[in-house]
Structure 1
């Protein structure tokens, strides 16, 4: 559906160049929700803007529906942009138009007949749950309602692709979940491919099937969301995951535990069916070990359970080593991480 093939984007002159995107290759499949995550300056917004050629790649190819888009004519570019909806962090609503007028605006630009415009606007107002807000102006709406208008406007021309640029970062947690549920509904009912960027890992966990992690203009890791959560490779991915799993002990707490406890601390990751098995209990009985659970959580990711425990194993070092070796055959085991930050 969307393919980035060794895409680069350079801003500035030969004397003062900034490479915002570096040799990025990604494939986004039709009908999926694909996330791109990274901190500010990672290059994710620049990459996103190249999908509809708001920014043109310096080199490399961008292919949409088997067509390389950087060489298309102005007429074909207009057609392409009509098939791509955009949802923005700051909503970008027209303050001089009411809700109905904002949603109808792209249809008016496309010269859609008024009767058809009215029908489509009514349909979208119902879809996003704002039938009673049609005559309201943006200043009269909450942040969540504004974003619903933004989504309805982006859907007005029946696009194949929906681009979301930090669509939830200006919203509170409860409203964020409502908007994510709406995006799931868009994806499911209209089979629209959604490409979103964010710096919030909980958004990726909640809605995406696959994700790419960007740092310094490069994609440093990509894959299935569950796989990245259960086995992150890069430092950056581990940082993002830790931000919502809280799977690291602070340096101060770690020092305190070392003073108060004599055992060894390990982090255990449980995936799939193993998450519901009494693994720790069975191993501790077999090796006559005591254990303390210092931290524990179970998360649902892509309809699968992901368990995360930090435990203290108490016993003879030689016995603990045997127990850990057997645990490693069942779950992922590592020495506990100390958060120096």
Structure 2
């Protein structure tokens, strides 16, 4: 659906060049919700704007529906953009137009006949739950309602792709969940591919199928949301995950354990059926060890359960070694002290 091949975007300032996107290779599959996460300045917004050529790449190729978009004529690019809806962080609504007028606007630009415009607008307002707000102006709406108008407007031309620039960062947590549920509905019921950027990991966890992590213009990690959450490889990714899954020991507890000479501290990651099994109970009965659980939680991602435990295994060194080998057959095992907690 969307493919970046070695894409770089360089901005020229007065005294230097700034590479906002560096040699990015990425594919977004048809029908999925793909998230791009990174801190401010990572290059997320620039990458998003390359999809419909609001920014042109300095080098590399971008394909949308197998078309290399940098080779399109002005007319072909205009047609392509009608198939790509945009949702913005700050809504970008016309304050002088009603809710109905805001949603109708792109249909007017596309010269859709009046009666057809009315039918489409009412259909979309029903879809986003704003039928009763059709005559209101943006200043009369809450933040969540404004974003629903933005989503309805983005869907007006029946796009195949929806690109979302921090769509929930201006909203409170409850409203954020409502908007994310609406985006899932758009994806599921209208079969719209969604490319979303955010700096909030709970947004990724809530709705995305796959995710890429950006840092300093580069993709530093990519994979399914489940794989990224259970097996993060980079420090940046680990920091994002810990912002929503608090599975680390406090510094004071970690220092105390070190002072007490604890050498057998492990992080256990459970997936799927393993989360439902009394694995540690069986281990402690089978071997001459005690298991002290110091931290733990179970979460759900993409319909699958996964759990994180930090445990201290107390016993003879050789016995502990046998326990770890046994655990590795069913769960991921990593030493905590070597992982800085």
User: Which TM-score applies when normalising by structure 2?
Assistant: 0.96
Contact 2:265 / 2:337 at 8 angstroms: preserved in 1? Answer: no
Give 1:157's aligned residue. 157
Determine helix, strand or coil for the equivalent of 1:163.
strand
User: In structure 2, how many angstroms separate the alpha carbons of the residues matched to 1:250 and 1:294?
Assistant: 10
Contact 2:35 / 2:211 at 8 angstroms: preserved in 1? Answer: yes
User: In structure 2, how many angstroms separate the alpha carbons of the residues matched to 1:95 and 1:14?
Assistant: 36
RMSD between aligned residues? 1.8
Determine helix, strand or coil for the equivalent of 2:244.
helix
User: In structure 2, how many angstroms separate the alpha carbons of the residues matched to 1:221 and 1:266?
Assistant: 24
| Shift, 1:337, TM fit | 5.3
Give 2:48's aligned residue. 48
User: In structure 2, how many angstroms separate the alpha carbons of the residues matched to 1:281 and 1:287?
Assistant: 10
Give the unaligned 5+ runs of structure 1: none
User: In structure 2, how many angstroms separate the alpha carbons of the residues matched to 1:127 and 1:338?
Assistant: 51
**Structure 1 residues 80-89 or 288-297, which shifts more?**
288-297
Give 1:295's aligned residue. 295
User: In structure 1, how many angstroms separate the alpha carbons of the residues matched to 2:338 and 2:137?
Assistant: 51
Contact 2:248 / 2:295 at 8 angstroms: preserved in 1? Answer: no
Structure 1 pair 340/138, CA: closer, same or farther in 2 (3 Å)?
Answer: farther
Give 1:249's aligned residue. 249
Contact 1:251 / 1:338 at 8 angstroms: preserved in 2? Answer: no
Give 1:313's aligned residue. 313
| Shift, 1:43, TM fit | 0.7
Give 1:178's aligned residue. 178
User: In structure 2, how many angstroms separate the alpha carbons of the residues matched to 1:338 and 1:170?
Assistant: 38
User: In structure 2, how many angstroms separate the alpha carbons of the residues matched to 1:198 and 1:26?
Assistant: 17
Determine helix, strand or coil for the equivalent of 1:25.
strand
User: In structure 2, how many angstroms separate the alpha carbons of the residues matched to 1:135 and 1:220?
Assistant: 46
Contact 1:254 / 1:338 at 8 angstroms: preserved in 2? Answer: no
Give 2:103's aligned residue. 103
| Shift, 1:258, TM fit | 4.7
Question: What does residue range 264-283 of structure 1 map to in structure 2 within 5 Å?
Answer: 264-283=264-283
Contact 1:99 / 1:136 at 8 angstroms: preserved in 2? Answer: yes
Structure 1 pair 23/263, CA: closer, same or farther in 2 (3 Å)?
Answer: closer
**Structure 1 residues 259-268 or 11-20, which shifts more?**
259-268
